[in-house]
Amino acid sequence: MKETLKVLNGILKAGVVQRYAIGGAVAAIYYLEPIDTVDLDIFVQLKVSGSELSILAPIYEHLSARGYKASGQFVEIEGMPVQFLPVFNPLTEEAVAKAQTIKYARVTTFIMRPEHLVAIMLDTGRPKDYLRIAMFLEQGAVKLRSLMPVLRRHGLVEKWVENEYRFRR
């Protein structure tokens, strides 16, 4: 994964994206026990905005020029399938903007904060998301005093209250 992150930092350095942050299961692993996953979800803040997924084209062009091939929704980068997701609402935009800087094998990278991961999982609302929210709570990996303001800002408090019974034992 170290080499994959170096390539991602190259995209950032080249100005293809303004910011990026690791989200999804790999970000969850940073805070929780290891869980099985097939890909690395990278949320990107682009210079351009638009409703079409073609806004991701500059990333694919940059990677293709360096020999990395797209396969379905993934781009295989140094042995790791990477899925790029443009920030698609104010919540994911904030999650990328407020991502924390970490080091992975001495490579600098950016990872979403637990309160944003939990809010995104609540918003997405698949059974596996609820399961992971339960893991965050059970393992004390998210603080409610950090989570609640995020839920309030993004209109998710009601959904939290409605589904809280799923996360708590």
Residue ranges in contact with other proteins by CB under 8 A: 1, 26, 29-38, 102, 104-105, 139, 141
Min dist CB 54 to other proteins, Å, is 31
**Shorter beta-carbon distance to other proteins: residue 35 or 161:** 35
For residues 146 and 115, is the Cβ–Cβ distance under 8 A?
yes
**Shorter beta-carbon distance to other proteins: residue 12 or 29:** 29
- Cα–Cα distances in Å, from 20 out to 36, 39, 127, 152, 163? 22, 16, 26, 24, 30
Min dist CB 102 to other proteins, Å, is 7
Min dist CB 111 to other proteins, Å, is 8
**Shorter beta-carbon distance to other proteins: residue 136 or 160:** 136
Token pair for 12: 């950032």
- Cα–Cα distances in Å, from 19 out to 6, 7, 99, 125? 14, 14, 9, 26
Counts for the chain of helices (H) and strands (E), in that order: 8, 7
Min dist CB 133 to other proteins, Å, is 15
**Shorter beta-carbon distance to other proteins: residue 34 or 72:** 34
Round to the nearest angstrom and report the end-to-end CA distance of the chain: 35
